[in-house]
Amino acid sequence: MKITLTNQNGSEDLDFLGIKVFNHPKPLAFAKTLWKNLSGDKHIDDSSSRAFSDSQLVFINDLTKISDFLKLTGKNNHLVKMLLDKIVAEKIVDEQKILALTDAINNDLGFQAIEEAIDWSKMITNLFAIPEETYLDRNTFLKMLEHNIWQEKCTFIFCDLDWLSVSDLKPYLNLHNFIFINHDFRNNVRLVTELEAVVFLDETNRVMLELIDLEVFVNFLSVKTSEYCSLDDLTSYLKKEVNLKNQKIFYAIETLFEQK
Specify the pLDDT at position 242: 93
User: Of residues 238 and 4, which shows the higher confidence score?
Assistant: 238
Distance of alpha carbon 17 from alpha carbon 96, whole angstroms: 54
The domain locations on the chain are: 19-70+134-212, 78-127
Q: Which of 85-89, 140-144, 248-252 has the highest mean pLDDT?
A: 140-144
CA atoms of 2 and 96, how far apart (whole Å): 57
Residue 226, by phi and psi: left (phi above 0), alpha (psi -120 to 50) or beta?
left
Distances (CA, A) of 200 to 165, 226, 252: 17, 21, 13
Do residues 149 and 32 make contact, with C-beta atoms less than 8 angstroms apart?
no
Angle at 158 between CA 152 and CA 161, to 5 degrees: 145
Q: What CATH topology corresponds to 19-70+134-212?
A: Rossmann fold (3.40.50)
**DSSP assignments along 46-64, one per residue:** TTSSS--S-TTEEEE-TT-
pTM: 0.85
pLDDT in tens, 125-156: 888 999 999 999 999 999 999 998 888 899 99
